[in-house]
Structure 1
């Protein structure tokens, strides 16, 4: 009888299957496929719903249920003993899921930092007087140099400048 599944395992599998098809999980539909008394099937469906609500959805949720059943004593006829896993979140040990979560959290943090930096840049562009004094002096120095270069260039292309240069050659 080791190869035979318990009623609870059968109910969990049928509930998962019905849910994957998008059908509503009802006692009648489950009992039709698994057998068992109304009371037992209802209790198993309620337990399945409770496990589903408290567990983080991961691939192979039916495998998690089977592992829980294998850990429980075989000869136990009383299913009213609370499951130690019930009520606590079940986390995946799959490295791939962990890497995806870490990558997602890292991307979210990077996006938040970039958005914050852009907001600060816009703030200081609109309010340059609020820059720290050392940065404000650097900005003023760069502006002064830029103004000097503009002044020299505009003088070089001024028609009066060319006239003065030509006159200076003939003197």
Structure 2
């Protein structure tokens, strides 16, 4: 009788394992479409969450006569608006955000777009001359439109807000 019991137990163990494998296979087979769509869903969601088109771009933030943090110009376009100061007494300020790990070329393009440098090459040359490439900090920098290129480099090599 013991031999029959052992056979029944062995068969029930095999049948239980087989049922588990079949159920897992059915679940995977039914869900494979959703599993394969997941990467595209994540990509679409990350695209949808990128609504702030000004993130990382130079945006004028006001002048000396406005309250702290006031935004002037057309900030929704994602580009700097205005020239190097709109009047003799008011100096336009630019808020330029530098992301951690950005290359000097990307950073330079932000300053060229704001009109603080004439070219990416000018920015990179000055950074090299001042030995500042490894000292550039990440963060949001408020820079006056009339700042000299040397002042801009000094500003971005110190902590934001300093």
Q: Same fold (TM over 0.5)?
A: no
**More relative contact order, 1 or 2 (CA 8 Å, 6+ apart):** 2
Q: TM-score, normalised by structure 2?
A: 0.23
More strand per residue? 2
More helix per residue? 1
Larger gyration radius, structure 1 or structure 2: 1
